[in-house]
Amino acid sequence: MSLLEVSSLTVRFAGLVAVDAVDLAVEAGSIHALIGPNGAGKTTTFNLITGLIPPTSGSIRLDGVDITALPAFRRAGCGMARSFQNIRIFAGLTVLENVLTGLHAGLGSNLLDVVLRLPGFRRQERDAVARARAALEIVGLAGRADDAATALAYGDQRRLEIARAIVARPRLLLLDEPAAGMNPAETEALAALVRRIRDAGTTVLLVEHDMGFVMGIADRVTVLNFGRRIADGAPAAVRRDPAVITAYLGAKVAARLEAAG
Amino acid sequence: MLAQQLINGVLLGSTYALFALGFTLMFGVLKVVNLTYGFYFSAGAFFALHLTKQWGWPIAAALPAAAAASGVLAVVLDWLLLTRLRRINAPELSSLMVTLGAVLALYAGMTTWLGPDIRRLPAGVLGGEALVLGELRITQAQILILLATAVLVGGLLALMRLTPIGLALRAMAEKPDAAGLMGIDTAKLAALVSLVCGALAGAGGVLIGLNFNAIQPYMGEAMMLRGFVVIIIGGLGDVRGALIAGLLLGVVETLTAGYIDSGLKEAVAFIMLVAVLWTRPSGLFGRAHIQRA
Amino acid sequence: MPVWLDDFLWTYQNVVYALGINGLLALSMYVVLAVGQLSLGQAAFMGMGAYSSALLTLKLHLPFAVVLPAATIPPVLFALAIGTPTLRLSGVYLAIATIGLGEVLRAVYLNVDALGGALGISGIPERAGMVSIYGLLIVALAVLWLVARSGIGRAMEAMREDEIAAAVMGVNVRRYRLGALLASAVLAGAAGALSAHVSSFIGPNEYGFEPAVTILSYALLGGISSPFAPVAGAWILTLLPEALRGFADLRLVFNGLIIVVVVLFLPNGLLPLRMRRWVK
Ligand SMILES: Nc1ncnc2c1ncn2[C@@H]1O[C@H](COP(=O)(O)OP(=O)(O)OP(=O)(O)O)[C@@H](O)[C@H]1O
Ligand SMILES: [Mg+2]
C-alpha cells in the first residue's frame, strides 16, 4: 500500500478548476516528483494535501487513514511536513527557534507544565533543542543557530525551511520547488540532502522545475497540466511521453521532435 | 400605529443604509476598516450646524456643502494616516489601529474645542408642518431624509454601474488584484473613494441631526455601532447587502423601541450582529470569507 | 510597614491603585495582540467585571475572595460568544464585534434600572487594596512571562507572523486565539472588580470606547516584546497626566495620537527588546 493515496482530487476556484480529478500514489520510502508547467496546479495540490485549502471533491489517505477532512494543524501530528515555494520562515524568530516550531505538534505544550517547569518537562525541552540542532547540522546551518532567521541568505532560508520540516522526522515530506534560486553546486548538494532524508526514513514528494534535478533524483514522476494528470511513471518513461513533451514544448515542437525520431 | 412605526423605521433605516454604504464601500475598495468614518458623520452635522446657524444658509444648500466638506476632510485624513501603510502593504489590523487612535484623538479634540453639549439646528430650518395622511404623520425632515437618501444612493449606484471609474471601483471591490491589472493609480483611487464615502457619512450626519434635532461630537461613535451591525449583516464590502441590512436595522430598532423598550434597541442590534456571525459570517447575502488553517 | 511608606501610600493611594489596575488591563490587551489579534472588548470586559462584582458584593454580600473570581465569569461568557464565531474569520471581525460590545453595554447600563441607570452604582465597600491588586499583577506577569518564554510563546509568535506556516507546524491557531481572548477577559474582568472595590463608585460611561482605545495605547506604547513592556506602557500613560495636570483635557487626544505614531513609526513599541527563550 502507498504511504499517500490521493484519489480524484478536485478543487475549483470561481470557475477555474485548478486541480482536476488528480490521482496520485506515493510509495513509502520513495522520492516522488510532481512536475508540470507554470500554473499546472502543483502548489495547489500541495495545499490540498496539507489541508490549507478544502477540496471540492476527492479524497486523501495517509497510510490508509482518510485525512481529507482533517484541519492543517492536525496533519502535522500525523507525520506530514512541508516547505513553501515562496519562503515562509518566521521572521521574528531565530534560526534555532524556527526549527523548534517544527516540533510543536510533538511537544506537549501544556500551560501547567510551562508554569510548573517540572524536571520531565525541562528534559523534554532540552531534547527538543538537541533535535533542532541536529536538524540544522543536517542542512548545514549549525553555525547560524542563534542568528535572526531573516539574516540568512535566500538559499540558506530554503535550507532552514527544510530543517524546520524534517526536525520532527515526518513520514511524508513535501518540498515545493526546493532548488529555486540555487546555483548548480547548491542544487547538487540539495539532491544529496534529499537522498539522505529519504534514506533516514522519510518519504519525499517534491515539486521542481529543474528537470536535471528531478530526473536524477526521482523514483517516480507525476505530470500535471491545467490541473489534470497527464502522465505518471518512471522518470525515463515520462521523459519520452509525447503528452508531456507537448505540454512543455507545445504541439508543434513535439510533432517536429517526433518526425525527427 | 404599526404603519407609522414602519414608516419611521424605514426612514431611520435609510439613513443607516446611507451611512453604512460609505463604510462598506471604503472597506470593499480600499480593504481598510476605517474607523475615522464615524467622525465624518459628526463633522458633517457640525458643518451643517455652522452653515445654518452662523451663515443662515437654508438646509437645502447646507446639506450638500456639509457633505462636500466632510468628503474633503476624509481625503485629507486618509492621506495623512493611510498612505504610508498602503505603501508598505501593512497588515489590515495596523490600518484599523491607526484609524482607531486617530478617531479617538479627533473626537476628544472636538469635544475639548466645542464642548460635549447637545446642540440644535436653528428653528425654522426644518419647516414646521408635517404631512398628515389619515393616521400617518411624516415630518418635513423625514421627507428631506427620504429624498436625500434616494438621490445619494441612486447617484452612487449610477456612478458605480455606469461610469468607467465606477466600474473600476467595482472591479476593485470584487477582485482585489484587478486594480493593478487595469493600471489604476491607487493613490488617486483612495482619494476618490474617501471623497465619496466621507461625503456620504457627512450627509448621513446632517440627516440624522435633522431627524433627532440633536448634534453632538460623539454622535458618530454611536452611529458606528449601527455601521458595524449593517456591514456585517450585509456582508463586509457588499453594497447591496448594506442597503438591505440598513433598512432592516432601522425597522427592527424602531419596532423594538416602540413595542418593547427603547433602551434595548442597541442590544437588539448587537444580538443581530452576533447571531449573523454565528450563522452566516459572510453576511446574509455574502460569499464565505472563512479562513482555514 | 514603615511609616514613610504608609504616608506615601496614603497620599498617592489612587495613583498607586491605578498603576496596578491599568497594568492588568495592559496585560489583558497584550495576550490578544500576542496572538496577532485585536480585541477592543477589554473595557467592556472590565465593565462586566465591575458591575457583576458590585452586585455580588452589595446584593448577595459575598466575600471578596468569592466575588473576584466570580466577576470574571460574565466577561468569559461574552468572550466565548463573540470569539468563537469571529476568530475563524479575518482579524477585523473580532475588532469590530468587540468595539460594538462596548457601545452596547454602555446603552444597557444606562437603561437597565437594576444596574443603576445613568447614576451607576455607588457605596461599594473598599475590599480591594495593595495586596489583591499587586498580588494579581505579579502572578499574571509571572505566568505570562513563563508562557512567553516557552514553546507556547514561540507558537504564539509564529502564528502572529504567519498563521498558515504556523498551522502547518501543527499550531492549533484557532484554539490559541480563543485561549488568548478568554485569558484577556479574565484579566480585564478581574481588573474591573478590583477597580470597583477601590473606588466605591462605578458608572455607565467608564467602560466605553475611550477606555478601550486607551488600553490599546498602553500596550502599543510599550510594545509586546515581553509582558513587562505593556505594563511599562500603562505606567507611563498613567503617570504622565498626573505629572502634566494642566493638560488633563488633552489626555485622550494624546492617547489617540500615541497609537497613530506608534503604529506608523514605531511598530515594536518603546521597548522592542527581544526576549530570550530557554534555548540552550
Ligand atoms: N486561492 C486561489 N484562488 C484562485 N485561484 C487560484 C488560487 N490558488 C491558485 N489558483 C490558480 O490555480 C492555478 C494553479 O496554481 P498553482 O499555484 O497550483 O500552480 P503551480 O503548478 O504551482 O505553478 P508554478 O509552477 O508557477 O508554481 C493557477 O491558475 C492559479 O492562478
Ligand atoms: Mg507552485
Instruction: Say if C216 falls within a structural domain.
Output: no
In angstroms, what separates the C-alpha of C177 from chain B's closest C-alpha?
12
Spatial CA neighbour of B137 closest among B244, B251, B259, B11: B11
Q: How far is CA A214 from the centre of its chain?
A: 14
* Residue owning the nearest CA to atom 1 of ligand 1: A13
H/E stretch holding C123 reads none
The finding on whether A47 has its CB within 6 A of some atom of ligand 1 is no
* Residue owning the nearest CA to atom 10 of ligand 1: A18
Q: How confident is the model at residue B87 (pLDDT cuts 50, 70, 90)?
A: confident
Spatial CA neighbour of B250 closest among B231, B271, B265: B265
Task: Evaluate whether C190 touches C68 at the Cβ level (below 8 Å).
Answer: yes
Residue B179 has pLDDT above 70, yes or no: no
pLDDT at C26: 97
pLDDT of B23-44, one tens digit each? 988 888 888 889 999 999 999 9
pLDDT of A96-155, one tens digit each? 999 999 998 877 667 888 788 888 888 888 899 999 999 999 999 999 999 999 999 988
pLDDT of B221-236, one tens digit each? 888 889 999 999 998 8
Which ligand lies nearest to the CA atom of residue A52 in the structure? 1
> How much distance in Å is there from the Cα of A10 to the middle of ligand 1?
13
Task: Report the pLDDT averaged over residues B66-75.
Answer: 95
- The domain locations on chain B are 2-118+132-219
Instruction: Say if C43 falls within a structural domain.
Output: yes
The proportion of chain B whose per-residue pLDDT surpasses 90, expressed as a percent, equals 28
Residue B293 has pLDDT above 60, yes or no: no
Instruction: Say if A242 falls within a structural domain.
Output: yes
- Planar angle of CA C191, C196, C200, nearest 5 degrees: 155
Whether A176 and A258 share a structural domain: yes
Domain, as residue range, for C115: 15-209
Coil, helix or strand at residue A33: strand
Whether A64 and A17 share a structural domain: yes
Whether A176 and A260 share a structural domain: yes
Strands (E), C94-180: none
* Distant-in-sequence, close-in-space partners of C6: CB < 8 Å, separation ≥ 6: none
Task: Report the pLDDT averaged over residues B266-280.
Answer: 88
Residues in chain C, total? 280
Whether A149 and A203 share a structural domain: no
Residue B290 has pLDDT above 60, yes or no: no
Instruction: Say if A38 falls within a structural domain.
Output: yes
Rounded Cα distance between B184 and B202, Å, is: 27
Among candidate residues A168, A184, A210, the one where a domain is terminated:
A168
Rounded Cα distance between B39 and B17, Å, is: 17
Residue B291 has pLDDT above 60, yes or no: no
Instruction: Indicate whether this complex's ipTM tops 0.95.
Output: no
pLDDT of B94-118, one tens digit each? 889 999 999 999 999 999 898 888 8
Which ligand lies nearest to the CA atom of residue A19 in the structure? 1
Whether A13 and A129 share a structural domain: no
Task: Evaluate whether B29 touches B193 at the Cβ level (below 8 Å).
Answer: yes
Instruction: Say if C260 falls within a structural domain.
Output: no
pLDDT at B127: 64
Among candidate residues A122, A140, A168, the one where a domain is terminated:
A168
Whether A93 and A212 share a structural domain: no
Residue A64 has pLDDT above 60, yes or no: yes
Q: Which residues of chain C lie closer than 8 angstroms to A48, CB-CB?
A: none
Q: How confident is the model at residue B292 (pLDDT cuts 50, 70, 90)?
A: very low
Q: Among residues 22-51 of chain A, which lie with CB inside 8 Å of chain B?
A: 51
Amino acid at C170: G
Among candidate residues A118, A137, A168, the one where a domain is terminated:
A168
Amino acid at A222: T
Instruction: Say if A176 falls within a structural domain.
Output: yes
Residues in chain A, total? 261
pLDDT at B3: 84
Q: Which residues of chain B lie closer than 8 angstroms to C256, CB-CB?
A: 101-106, 108
- Planar angle of CA C185, C152, C150, nearest 5 degrees: 120
Task: Evaluate whether B36 touches B106 at the Cβ level (below 8 Å).
Answer: yes
Supply the pTM of this predicted model: 0.91
Q: How confident is the model at residue B128 (pLDDT cuts 50, 70, 90)?
A: low
The finding on whether A178 has its CB within 6 A of some atom of ligand 1 is no
Rounded Cα distance between C238 and C187, Å, is: 18
Q: Which residues of chain B lie closer than 8 angstroms to C251, CB-CB?
A: 108
Domain, as residue range, for A232: 1-79+170-261
Q: Which residues of chain A lie closer than 8 angstroms to B293, CB-CB?
A: 51-52, 71-73
Count structural domains, chain A: 2
pLDDT at C274: 58
pLDDT at C280: 45
Q: How confident is the model at residue A23 (pLDDT cuts 50, 70, 90)?
A: very high
Rounded Cα distance between C81 and B274, Å, is: 8
**pLDDT < 70 positions in chain C:** 1, 245-248, 268-280
Task: Report the pLDDT averaged over residues B115-134.
Answer: 76
Query: Following DSSP, what letter does each residue of B28-66 receive, concatenated?
Result: HHH----TTHHHHHHHHHHHHHHHHHTS---HHHHHHHH
Rounded Cα distance between C71 and C58, Å, is: 13
The finding on whether A39 has its CB within 6 A of some atom of ligand 1 is yes
- Interface check A54 vs B, CB under 8 A: yes
Coil, helix or strand at residue B121: coil
Pocket test for ligand 1, best of A9, A10, A13 (most atoms within 8 A of CB): A13
Q: Decide if C259 and B104 are in contact by the 8 Å CB cutoff.
A: yes
The finding on whether A42 has its CB within 6 A of some atom of ligand 1 is yes
The finding on whether A44 has its CB within 6 A of some atom of ligand 1 is yes
C-alpha cell at C157: 509568535
Instruction: Say if A84 falls within a structural domain.
Output: no
Q: How confident is the model at residue B183 (pLDDT cuts 50, 70, 90)?
A: low
Instruction: Say if C52 falls within a structural domain.
Output: yes
- Interface check B287 vs A, CB under 8 A: no
Count structural domains, chain C: 1
Q: How confident is the model at residue A79 (pLDDT cuts 50, 70, 90)?
A: very high
